[in-house]
Amino acid sequence: MEAVLRQQAQKAGLDVEFDSAGTESYHVGEAPDPRSQNVAAQRGYTLAHLRARKVRVPDDFIQFDLILAADESHLEWLSLHCPKEHKMKLRLFLNDRALPDPYYDGNEAFEGVLDAVEGAAAYWLKALRAPKA
């Protein structure tokens, strides 16, 4: 999500800070799955420089204006650990559904996830450009 959002924002001329983090520490310090990297590279995204980290509580909730969760379990974890005054920043990345986990599936699943991420990234960047009410 981070690399796609960053690249699409750059193309749109938006100066926005992006970061990504997980709710567990299993893969801290690791690069994205090689299959994700390969599929992303075919579409012009570079993921090799990314490294997994765990959400910093409460720092990330304070620092970022919007925190997007991949699925309901991540959103629930974020909600449980988020200071009350920052809960309005929490959303599902795909708005009404979970981002599928392609880990146990083939390349087509990784392609499908990237399709969903590109579509949602376009939505969120449009929302960021919208005038604040």
pLDDT class for 2, splitting at 50, 70, 90?
Answer: very high
CA–CA separation, 3 vs 20, rounded Å? 9
Contact indicator for 94, 115 with CB cutoff of 8 Å = no
Out of 11-15, 74-78, 85-89, pick the least confident: 11-15
CA–CA separation, 77 vs 99, rounded Å? 16
- Cα-Cα-Cα-Cα torsion 44, 100, 70, 73, nearest 10 degrees, comes to -160
CA–CA separation, 83 vs 12, rounded Å? 32
Mean pLDDT of the chain: 96
Could you say which of 3.40.50.2300, 3.40.50.10540, 3.90.25.10, 1.25.40.10 is the CATH number of the domain covering 2-128? 3.40.50.2300
